[in-house]
Structure 1
C-alpha cells in the first residue's frame, strides 16, 4: 500500500504523545530537551526557542545515535529514559516523524502541539 506524507505523519502521531508548548517549556526547565528540527533558514526567519537543541530533520537519526561519531551530546544524553525530548518544527509534521524515529531508537519523545506557530500562539518567547 502506498502512503502519503499525511499518512506517515498520522501514523507517527498515533505512536507519540503530544504536549502543549507551555508543558514542553516547563519540562525544559526540569531538564528535558526541546529539539528543533527546522532548517537553519527557518530559525533565522521565525526565531528560536532559547536553550533548544537544533538538528535539522534530515540529520536527526545520525545525531541521536552515539555510534555514528556525529552525535549531538545534548540529544544523545537523553537516550534510554534520562528525560524527555520534546520535538518542534514549524507546524508539527516533521516533528511527528522525528519524534517517532527517536522513539524507535529508545528515546522518550513528545511532539510540541502546533509547532512554532503554537509556541507563538501561547505567547512563549522566541529569540529572533
Structure 2
C-alpha cells in the first residue's frame, strides 16, 4: 500500500510525544535543546526561536550522526539519552518526521505542539 505524506506524518506522530511551547522553553533552560527544522528562508521571513539549533529537515539525519563528519555538535551530544530534543517547524509535520527519525537514531525527542505559531502565541523568546 502506498502512503501519502499525511499517512507518514500520522505514523510518525504515533511514535513521538508532544510538548507545549512553554514546557519546551522551560526544558531548554534545563539543558534540553530546541531543534528548528524549518528552511533558512522561513527563518528569515518568520523569525526564529531564541537559543534554538537550526537544521533544515533534509539535513537532520546527517547532522545528528557523528559518523557522517557533518554532525552538529550540539545536537549530536544529546544522542543516547543525554537530554531531550524538542523539535519545531511551522505546522508540526516536518517536526514529527524529524523527531521520529531522531528517536530511531537513539535520541529522546518530542514535537512542540502547534509549531512556531503556538510558540509566538505563548509569547516566548523570539527574534525576527
Same fold? TM cut 0.5 = yes
Provide TM-score, normalisation by structure 2.
0.99
Shift of 1:124: 1.4
**2:16 alignment partner in structure 1:** 16
Is the partner of 1:10 in helix, strand or coil? helix
Counterparts of 2:96 and 2:118, CA distance in 1? 14
**2:82 alignment partner in structure 1:** 82
Counterparts of 2:54 and 2:100, CA distance in 1? 17
Which runs of at least 4 in structure 1 moved beyond 3 Å after TM superposition?
Answer: none
Structure 2 residue 91 is the aligned partner of structure 1 residue 91: yes
Deviations 1:34-70 (A, max 9, x none): 0000000000111111110000000000000000000
**2:110 alignment partner in structure 1:** 110
Shift of 1:117: 0.9
Provide TM-score, normalisation by structure 1.
0.99
Counterparts of 1:108 and 1:19, CA distance in 2? 12
Q: Which runs of 5+ in 2 are unaligned?
A: none
**1:6 alignment partner in structure 2:** 6
- Cα RMSD between the aligned structures? 0.5
**2:28 alignment partner in structure 1:** 28
**1:124 alignment partner in structure 2:** 124
Shift of 1:120: 1.2
Shift of 1:125: 2.3
How many residues align structurally? 128
Counterparts of 1:94 and 1:61, CA distance in 2? 13
